[in-house]
């Protein structure tokens, strides 16, 4: 059982990898405590995939085998996404929406996403609620099953936002009893439990 954690920012500098790490560590510490079955969490960094703007000639929903894609980059992306049973999207809000890089990555495929559970963790000055809702709608478009519980991480001060824009270290700590996003750690754990529930229904 593998869950893909998609890093949805491709700018440099950026804070998305730090936030992905915080989410993964929060999940791992919660799950270790609760002794639940523990799928492997793997990071998928869209910067490393560096997909060109969508350039396949055919409708992805009509593709039933990855060899039918014209381009090698699409075949490789298809194989990568097929490996996972579920996904966690770590996504910043840009101008009230989600970054184009993640829409492009989604549009390349269809059947590889279809039926799989997804959890969206957004972040921004006000938690990125608009991008969270928009991305969840798009995920439904490729027939994924988003959790009803969302996670929205708000930068606690203007200082944090300025640091984030510069890609500086936010000193996020998923284990300390103080610090930022204590309550949000519970939201992450709750949404992740729901993700696992959807996953176990899928597997049954
Ligand atoms: C193009 C762009 C648009 C942005 N728009 C918003 C926004 O609508 N709401 C918000 O809270 N922050 C916004 N921000 C600030 C981001 O929350 C902040 O830069 C954050 O670090 C972005 O995540 P990243 O560093 O992982 O790319 C925007 C940043 C960029 C680069």
What does the pLDDT look like over 137-185, one tens digit per residue?
999 999 999 999 999 999 999 999 999 999 999 999 888 888 889 999 9
**Residue 34: pLDDT above 80?**
no
Neighbours of 118 (CB within 10 A): 23
pLDDT value for 32 = 64
The residue length of the chain stands at 204
Ligand 1 centroid to residue 58 C-alpha, Å: 33
Residues 71, 38: Cα–Cα separation, whole Å = 35
Ligand 1 centroid to residue 126 C-alpha, Å: 10
Output the residue whose Cα is nearest ligand 1's atom 6: 94
Domains (range + CATH), the chain: 2-203 (3.40.50.360)
Which residue did the predictor score with more confidence, 175 or 74?
74
pLDDT value for 150 = 95
**Residue 38: pLDDT above 80?**
no
Confidence of residue 24 (pLDDT cuts 50, 70, 90): very high
Q: How would you write 97-137 as a 3-class SS string?
A: ECCHHHHHHHHCCCCCCCCCEEEEEEEECCCCHHHHHHHHH
Report the chain's mean pLDDT, rounded to a whole number: 95
**Residue 35: pLDDT above 60?**
no
Ligand 1: residues with CB < 6 A are 9, 11, 14-16, 92-96, 124-126, 164-165, 167
Output the residue whose Cα is nearest ligand 1's atom 3: 94
Task: List, in sequence order, every residue forming a beta bridge with 87; answer none if it has no partner.
Answer: 4, 118
Q: Which atom of ligand 1 is nearest to 125's Cα?
A: 11
State the average pLDDT over residues 73-80.
98
Here the tokens at position 98 are 């989600």
**Which of 8, 97, 124, 129 gets mutated to test ligand 1 (max ligand atoms within 8 A of its CB)?**
124
């Amino acid at each position: 059982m593998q869950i893909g954690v998609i890093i949805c920012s491709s700018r440099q500098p950026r804070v998305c990898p730090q936030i992905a790490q915080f989410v993964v560590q929060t999940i791992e510490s919660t799950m270790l405590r609760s002794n639940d079955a523990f799928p492997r969490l793997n990071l998928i960094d869209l910067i490393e995939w560096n997909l060109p703007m969508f350039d396949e000639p055919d409708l992805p929903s009509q593709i039933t085998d990855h060899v039918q894609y014209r381009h090698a980059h699409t075949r490789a992306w298809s194989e990568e996404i097929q490996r996972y049973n579920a996904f966690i999207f770590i996504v910043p809000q840009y101008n009230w929406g989600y970054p184009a890089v993640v829409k492009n990555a989604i549009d390349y495929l269809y059947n590889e996403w279809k039926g799989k559970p997804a959890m969206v963790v957004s972040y921004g000055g006000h938690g990125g609620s608009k991008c969270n809702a928009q991305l969840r709608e798009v995920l439904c478009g490729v027939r994924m099953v988003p959790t009803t519980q969302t996670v929205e991480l708000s930068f606690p001060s203007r200082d944090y936002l300025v640091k984030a824009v510069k890609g500086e270290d936010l000193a996020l700590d998923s284990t300390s009893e103080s610090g930022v996003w204590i309550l949000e750690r519970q939201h992450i754990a709750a949404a992740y439990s729901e993700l696992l529930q959807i996953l176990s229904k899928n597997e049954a």
